[in-house]
């Protein structure tokens, strides 16, 4: 555990209503206008708006919601011929080796690859090696499930999404919710926010906005030391045929990292003050030669964005789907380029996977990716990563006095109000007005954070210790034994020297005695 002031995470907010009702008449696609107005004739399930030659019997879509003030005429939709920003034979990947240059480089694959064979080990990976003998693990059943007809709401949303993807990014931003109308107030540590705002256009929620700043440092805990957002959901602009409720999608993520609202987001409801307490966990991974990870500092220097494994996998899936199926399943690759302020980013209107053959192909691609992701994507974990766990609490908000204040504040953000007066602010006449606003308090519950670090299982110190232990066990050659052996050798040498010296002295005495005896004998 460590304790210190913590950099505050980036916060991304999205209105869960994709298009504003008042902007329907400004959409260039008449088919999309019809879908949003509830006047579109729904074709049979096998029909796709990209297959203009296909004819089928149609039934009318009934609508329970409101219709826009300007209805459009019924016309047929035609597909737009596009050129994707990436080559059809490339799969976006990230590097393995931390010592090399880190970038989303590309590797070539067979564009006409047709080997969609089922990997028998797929379900082993899926179930972490545990098989249920009562379960049918054949891929055909799963494929049949995903190929089965969708229910009415899902089918209607698919028609909307198919047409929504065909309008360009500039038009998506224009018809979506705007930050100046949504964000009524932003405070951090009791002071007005001065954040850097990044906009992201997503398939699912339209306009999203990332609030982040290097000045946001949490020096203490509790709501007063965190971020407070007051949001106008603009429920009067919601298209009820496409959404079942009102709310905001929010992502808490590392600063400078790309947000993924659908995969990583939280849903916050209107009519409440929601408190979100954060606890941070830092994960430190070893790079080469112990493992594979991406150095986030080097990657950020080269790409201007923090590395994200999930975003890397999403890019890989998009490029692999395009290489095989000639259609796009997402726009993360383009949005990442805009998010990190790249000057040269080709913004192309995507062609979604909506025909039966494209759907079937994209399902096969997803299956192959899940079965062996390392084969198709090079997306290791970052060497340093901060994750946030959240706890929720809340209360009903606001009361009537605050509601009137918020309504006045929200109406002032609309140009129509400033030119014609408050009587023409549609928000004032909206039913269930209290559910139109929400307040979010985001703060650290504790500045103590847990550090999870990888350590080498076997290093040089451990090797020396094991070698010494093995020698001591097998030969008994400990340091004390070596000293004793040395002492014994010295003693042996000393004894031998003494013996040699003692033998020489005795021989000399005997020689002298013999000489004396001989002398005495000669005198006698």
Averaged pLDDT for residues 311-324: 92
Three-state SS string over 314-357 comes to HHHHHHHHHHHHCCECCCHHHHHHHHCCCCCCCCCCCCECCCHH
Length of the chain: 524
Res 121: pLDDT = 44
pLDDT tens-place string over residues 114-142: 343 434 443 344 444 444 555 554 556 55
Long-range contact set of residues 150-159: C-beta below 8 Å, sequence gap at least 24:
150/45, 155/42, 155/45, 156/35, 156/42, 156/61, 156/241, 156/242, 157/242, 158/354, 159/35, 159/40, 159/42, 159/49
3 state SS of 455: coil
The mean pLDDT value of the chain amounts to 78
Q: At what angle do helices 139-147 and 356-371 cross, to 10 degrees?
A: 140
Cβ count within 10 A of residue 483: 10
Res 503: pLDDT = 62
136's tokens = 């049918």
Instruction: Tell me: pLDDT of 102 over 50.
Output: no
Instruction: Tell me: pLDDT of 406 over 80.
Output: yes
Parallel, antiparallel, or unpaired: how do β-strands 248-253 and 266-268 relate?
antiparallel
Cβ count within 10 A of residue 263: 12
Burial class (CB in 10 A: 0-12, 13-18, 19+), 37: buried
- Strand intervals (E) in 378-447: 381-382, 384-396, 437-444
34 or 82, which is more confident?
Answer: 34
42's tokens = 């729904």
Res 183: pLDDT = 96
User: What is the dihedral sign for C-alpha 344, 350, 351, 352?
Assistant: positive
Percent of the chain with pLDDT over 70: 70
268's tokens = 């916050």
10's tokens = 């980036």
Long-range contact set of residues 337-346: C-beta below 8 Å, sequence gap at least 24:
338/200, 339/198, 339/200, 339/210, 339/258, 339/305, 340/303, 340/304, 340/305, 341/304, 342/304, 345/85, 346/85
Cβ count within 10 A of residue 8: 25
pLDDT tens-place string over residues 468-512: 778 777 666 566 777 888 888 988 988 888 888 776 665 665 666
User: What is the dihedral sign for C-alpha 461, 463, 465, 467?
Assistant: negative
Q: Using only the alpha carbons of the chain, give its radius of gyration.
A: 37
Rounded to an integer, what distance in angstroms lies between the CA atom of residue 175 and that of residue 17?
11
Res 294: pLDDT = 94
151 or 103, which is more confident?
Answer: 151
CA-based nearest residue to 236, from 405, 431, 417: 431
488: Cβ contacts below 8 Å, ≥ 6 apart: none
Parallel, antiparallel, or unpaired: how do β-strands 272-284 and 384-396 relate?
antiparallel
Give 524's pLDDT tier (boundaries 50, 70, 90): low
Res 135: pLDDT = 52
CA angle 146, 83, 107 (to 5 degrees): 75
Averaged pLDDT for residues 45-57: 45
pTM: 0.75
pLDDT tens-place string over residues 152-194: 778 888 889 889 988 999 999 999 999 999 999 999 999 999 8
485 or 228, which is more confident?
Answer: 228
Burial class (CB in 10 A: 0-12, 13-18, 19+), 274: buried
Parallel, antiparallel, or unpaired: how do β-strands 191-192 and 248-253 relate?
unpaired
Instruction: Tell me: pLDDT of 250 over 80.
Output: yes
Averaged pLDDT for residues 358-367: 90
Parallel, antiparallel, or unpaired: how do β-strands 272-284 and 191-192 relate?
unpaired
Burial class (CB in 10 A: 0-12, 13-18, 19+), 291: middle
476's tokens = 């008994």
pLDDT tens-place string over residues 369-393: 988 899 999 999 999 999 999 999 9
Rounded to a whole number, what is the distance in angstroms from the first to the last CA of the chain?
107
pLDDT tens-place string over residues 460-470: 888 888 887 78
Averaged pLDDT for residues 432-456: 94
Res 514: pLDDT = 67
CA distances from 518 to 500, 505, 523 (A): 28, 20, 9
Res 158: pLDDT = 84
């Amino acid at each position: 555990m460590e304790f210190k002031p913590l950099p505050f995470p980036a916060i991304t907010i999205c209105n869960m209503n994709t298009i504003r009702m008042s902007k329907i008449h400004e959409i260039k696609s008449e088919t999309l206008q019809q879908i949003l107005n509830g006047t579109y004739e729904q074709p049979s399930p096998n029909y796709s708006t990209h297959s203009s030659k296909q004819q089928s019997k149609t039934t009318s879509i009934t609508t329970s919601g409101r219709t826009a003030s300007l209805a459009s005429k019924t016309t047929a939709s035609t597909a737009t011929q596009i050129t994707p920003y990436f080559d059809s034979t490339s799969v976006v990947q990230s590097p393995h080796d931390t010592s090399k240059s880190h970038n989303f480089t590309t590797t070539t694959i067979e564009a006409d690859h047709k080997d969609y064979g089922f990997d028998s080990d797929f379900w082993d990976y899926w179930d972490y090696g545990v098989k249920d003998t009562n379960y049918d693990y054949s891929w055909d059943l799963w494929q049949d499930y995903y190929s089965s007809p969708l229910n009415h709401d899902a089918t209607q949303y698919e028609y909307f999404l198919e047409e929504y993807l065909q309008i360009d990014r500039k038009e998506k931003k224009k018809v979506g919710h705007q930050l100046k109308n949504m964000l009524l107030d932003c405070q951090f540590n009791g002071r007005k926010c001065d954040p850097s705002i990044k906009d992201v256009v997503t398939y699912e929620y339209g306009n999203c906005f990332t609030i982040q700043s290097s000045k946001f440092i949490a020096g203490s805990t509790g709501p007063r030391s965190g971020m407070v957002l007051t949001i106008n959901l603009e429920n009067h602009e919601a298209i009820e045929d496409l959404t079942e409720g009102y709310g905001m999608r929010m992502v808490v993520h590392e600063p400078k990292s790309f947000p993924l609202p659908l995969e990583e987001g939280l849903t916050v409801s209107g009519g409440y003050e929601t408190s979100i307490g954060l606890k941070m966990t830092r994960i430190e991974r070893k790079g080469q030669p112990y493992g594979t990870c991406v150095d986030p500092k080097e990657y950020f220097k080269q790409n201007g964005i923090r590395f994200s494994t999930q975003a890397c996998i999403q890019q890989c899936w998009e490029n692999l789907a395009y290489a095989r199926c000639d259609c796009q399943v997402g726009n993360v690759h383009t949005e990442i380029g805009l998010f990190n302020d790249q000057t040269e980013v080709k913004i192309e209107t995507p062609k979604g996977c909506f025909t039966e053959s494209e759907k079937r192909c994209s399902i096969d691609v997803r299956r192959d990716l899940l079965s062996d992701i390392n084969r198709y994507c090079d997306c290791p974990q970052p060497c340093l990563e901060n994750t946030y766990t959240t706890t929720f609490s809340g209360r009903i908000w606001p009361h009537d006095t605050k509601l009137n204040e918020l309504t006045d504040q929200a109406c002032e953000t609309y140009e129509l109000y400033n030119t014609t007066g408050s009587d023409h602010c549609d928000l004032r006449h909206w039913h269930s007005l209290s559910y139109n606003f929400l307040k979010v308090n985001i703060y650290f519950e504790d500045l103590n954070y847990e550090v999870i670090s990888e350590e080498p299982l076997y290093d040089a110190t451990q090797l020396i210790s094991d070698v010494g232990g093995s020698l001591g066990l097998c030969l008994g050659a400990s340091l004390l034994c070596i000293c004793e052996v040395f002492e014994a050798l010295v003693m042996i040498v000393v004894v031998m020297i003494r013996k040699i010296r003692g033998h020489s002295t005795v021989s000399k005495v005997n020689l002298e005695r013999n000489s004396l005896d001989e002398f005495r004998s000669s005198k006698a």
